[in-house]
Amino acid sequence: MSDKYREAGVDLEAGYESVRLIKSHVARTKTMGAIDSIGAFGGMFDLSRYGFKEPVLVSGTDGVGTKLMIAFEADKHDTIGIDAVAMCVNDVLVQGAAPMFFLDYIAVGKNHPQVIEQIVKGVADGCVQAECALIGGETAEMPDMYDVSHYDIAGFCVGAVDKCNLLDGQKIAEGNVLIGLPSSGCHSNGFSLIRKVLLKDAKLDLHERYDAFDGKTLGEELLTPTKIYVKAIKHLLGKVDIKGMSHITGGGFYENIPRCIPDGLCAKIEKSALRIPPIFTMLRRMGNVSEHDMFNTYNMGTGMTLIAAKEDADRAIAALKEKTFAKFGHKGHMSVGDAIYRIQSLTIPAKYNIIRSEASLREALAGLDEVERDIEANVAVRDMHELMLYHELHGMLATARLTFTSALQRKESRGSHYREDYTETDGEHWNVWLKSSFKDGKIVVEAEPIPLEKFERYGLDVLPR
């Protein structure tokens, strides 16, 4: 090899040794479509062997984020590859596609072949769980770009599904049921906040054991691999008509559940049905993190949600009982049927509005804590873009509360009606005429966007901005 290249920090011999060490791990991921291609310029896969009539390819790419920093500090590298696979295959899965193949990219400051082997072992473990082939990858040694003990990993997955079986949310309807599948812990999201709260501020020891984690160390709890849902979901799709799915990753409930729900529907979340693992309780308490921010950042114990017709929900649960999830909660292994739960149903949301008076606002919010206001009232509302009032932030009641407060500050409240201005993309100035009432424990809202000149022509008050 080039001595000069080695002097520059790149050891080609270490790269060759890494390839030799990982071959056995790659081999155990082989599926019927995989074509031996280790060492070739591109990975190859024969899709024709799967009998698709109108195949649609679904792809996903992702990384592990700063969870890697926990792996570095704990000097544990054999599970982080599972995370890389999981973050990609779960995203592909929710479209209804079966993961077909996976490629990884590992960038290192210095090539330590034994560490590379451990990383790829984890990737292979994840591919076996996901029933997809590891058909290629790249290891790049980049001195000065990374510390000699640091690396980064990213993955890329391709899945396939017949066009008629794509899950695009079009079959989702009012009254469908939302079912939650348990996560294995923090998965691979929000670790910058985790590290700040638990390691930087609280200065906890990764090697300390906690009863709440079944005697595991903090490091073991945080490095628990992201759950791969492929086998359970593939088993389910052949038995029950699943209408949509969401992978709960960064952005938590607020950003991920709405992604599969069509306009005009929202998901009603029953918070009491959720099973929140101790790690999230610890993080919230030690970091003084609001529940809203927790649900807007983490999976909170629910790693994937499914949507099915109400009459199919029990059959879906029964089918999932036939598969077993990894360790969850406090004790032992728990069957899927013990750990899944109905989160609640899909409903048609009221249009978003300002509360008509401070008294009605207080009445509406009576008995609801901050989190229940957000979650009970629409944690997962599809973007009601035509009103320009919601912006997928906090949910109907919280939005009403916040906007009403701003209305009082501007002294623009007018009895049971309120006018809100906004500017359309074409520059035309519009108003939203809003009227609300409190009925059956809910805020009932009506809204009608009308042009400013029409608002004035009707003789209605034009409120100053």
Q: Which of 24-38, 357-371, 408-422 has the lowest mean pLDDT?
A: 408-422
Q: Which of 162-171, 202-211, 433-442 has the lowest mean pLDDT?
A: 433-442
Q: Which two three-digit tokens encode residue 306? A: 């499914």
d(CA 179, CA 229): 14
Ranked by mean pLDDT, the top range of 64-73, 250-259, 325-334, 408-417 is: 64-73
pTM: 0.73
Q: Dump pLDDT digits (tens) for 290-329.
A: 988 999 999 999 999 999 998 998 888 888 877 654 333 2
d(CA 234, CA 44): 24
Residue partners of 142: CB distance under 8 A and separation at least 6: 107, 108, 109
pLDDT value at position 139?
95
d(CA 161, CA 113): 37
d(CA 106, CA 152): 6
Strand residues in 193-280 grouped as ranges (E): 242-247, 266-267
Q: Which two three-digit tokens encode residue 443? A: 């805020």
